[in-house]
Amino acid sequence: MELSFCELTVSCRNVCAALLSLSRYIGGRAGTPCHHQLAPLQQRLALVVRQRARRTERRSAMDDPERIARDAAACQLEINGTAPPAPLYCEGTFDSWLCWPPTPANTTAYRACPDFVPGFSPDLLAHKECTANGTWWQHPQTGRPWSNYTTCVKPEDDVSDIIAVYEAGYSVSLVALLLSLAILLYFK
């Protein structure tokens, strides 16, 4: 999709006037028609707009307000269509990633991990704990209800083995460096 310069700016005249002033300042020809001076800027600006559009398209659905609103509405319908369990239960809720159903007290709710989060496997299950008093478990640091998504990453995707290899390599390198310094100081 090719965008014209006027579609990309609020006022072509203001930009043109600024470019004319700039061309006079840097020694350009003041009599050149504006559209000729704008051609390189127009190409560059169109490229920048296209790159930003691509970045926006690639933006993760994690923060997509349309997805969040759509999923929140679907969650509310699901919660309203579900009869509450036992007399003491945690209210159904939407945490911006998943819909958690009304859950009996002192039990754990499980849901398939979201597929729109990079690194998460939808084959695994996230969980949310309903405490004995009928409230969702709260994270001790934030004091807010917490859903546990730490189980959504497959163990084979864990990079701790790679980190261990790096640490071993750096350790061997450090020992070799210290040994070479000791030899150098000995013969000095």
Higher pLDDT, 16 or 120: 120
DSSP 3-state of 105: coil
Task: Kindly state whether residues 85 and 170 are assigned to the same domain.
Answer: no
Calculate mean pLDDT across residues 103-130. 91
Calculate mean pLDDT across residues 62-89. 87
Q: Please check whether residue 9 is in contact with residue 46, taking contact to mean a CB–CB distance below 8 angstroms.
A: no
d(CA 10, CA 89): 55
Task: Kindly state whether residues 151 and 174 are assigned to the same domain.
Answer: no
How many domains does the structure of the chain reveal?
A: 3
pTM of the predicted model, to two decimals?
0.53
Which helix (DSSP H) or strand (DSSP E) does residue 50 occupy? helix 34-58
DSSP 3-state of 108: strand
DSSP 3-state of 37: helix
Please give the radius of gyration of the chain, using alpha carbons only, rounded to the nearest integer. Answer: 30
| Average pLDDT across the chain, whole number | 76
Task: Kindly state whether residues 128 and 44 are assigned to the same domain.
Answer: no
Q: Domain range spanning residue 25?
A: 5-58
Q: Please check whether residue 90 is in contact with residue 137, taking contact to mean a CB–CB distance below 8 angstroms.
A: no
